Structure 1
């Protein structure tokens, strides 16, 4: 395949490459840049393409690999490596002391609200919280699985309403 024929074949594929590029980048300008970079790589490596194979698949593979390489490069660029020996300066502007009182109050309120639930709702809810599956709860309580799901849903809803100050 001559360079002119190869260029023409790639040009015909660029429209079908756009949706894939958009799916990868989620941005129109970045998608166009990715397509342009893909076409450039494909054209500069045209001798590696085996005639008679799927050109579209070859181009999509180049595009995916280019996207992954660019993403990894961007992540590396954003990584900060501290080379100082005085490590006590790291995060020195942030508060280090944490107060667990807020969490204690929230947990006390949650336990209080759970204890106020009707036993009909509390028992399946607590079993589900402890890791039981719906069908296991249904067997243990000898009620239909739909009833189990409904009761857990109602318990969650009541707790959400009662604890909305923590939302």
Structure 2
């Protein structure tokens, strides 16, 4: 395939690549950058494309690999490696330890609110909170699964109303 034919084929496929780029990045500007970088790599590596293979799949692979590489590079860039001998920050005001008293108050309020729920709502809610599935709760309590879902929903709604003071935290 000549360079001109490949360029023409790639240009036709860019419309199909844009939604995939958007799906990966979840941002229009980043998707455009990823698309541009993919096309640049495809043009510069056109000699590696094997004629008779799927051009669209080749471009999707380039885009996916470019996205993964960029993501890993960003993750490495944002990872701080402490090279001090004692392996901790000294006099660093960036990392502060919070006083956990507030969380103890809120946990006490949450537990009190759960304890004050009507038993019909409290039991399914607590079981769900502990990791039981809806059908397991229904089996253990000998009630229909729809009732379980309804009671958990009502318990959540009641707790949300009682604990709205913590909504902004």
Query: Which residue of structure 1 lines up, in the alignment, with residue 127 of structure 2?
Result: 127
Q: Does 1:75 align with 2:75?
A: yes
Query: Which residue of structure 2 lines up, in the alignment, with residue 148 of structure 1?
Result: 148
Query: Which residue of structure 2 lines up, in the alignment, with residue 95 of structure 1?
Result: 96
Shift of 1:61: 1.0
Whole-angstrom CA distance in 1 between matches of 2:55 and 2:146: 52
Normalising by the residue count of structure 1, what TM-score does the alignment of the two structures yield?
0.80
Structure 2 CA distance for partners of 1:77 and 1:127, relative to 1, 3 Å? closer
State which structure, 1 or 2, has the greater radius of gyration over its C-alpha atoms.
Answer: 1
Judge conservation of contact 2:113–2:159 (CA < 8 Å) in 1: yes
Judge conservation of contact 2:38–2:59 (CA < 8 Å) in 1: yes
Judge conservation of contact 2:22–2:31 (CA < 8 Å) in 1: yes
Whole-angstrom CA distance in 2 between matches of 1:74 and 1:129: 35
Query: Which residue of structure 2 lines up, in the alignment, with residue 50 of structure 1?
Result: 50
| Structure 2: 5+ residue stretches without partners | none
Aligned-CA RMSD value: 2.5
Q: Summarize deviations over 1:146-166 as a string: whole Å, max 9, x none.
A: 122212221222122112112
Q: Summarize deviations over 1:33-73 as a string: whole Å, max 9, x none.
A: 33333223222322222211111111111121122222222
Shift of 1:104: 2.5
Q: How many residues align?
A: 166
Query: Which residue of structure 1 lines up, in the alignment, with residue 3 of structure 2?
Result: 3
Whole-angstrom CA distance in 1 between matches of 2:79 and 2:116: 49
Shift of 1:140: 3.1
Structure 2 CA distance for partners of 1:89 and 1:39, relative to 1, 3 Å? closer
Structure 2 CA distance for partners of 1:58 and 1:156, relative to 1, 3 Å? same
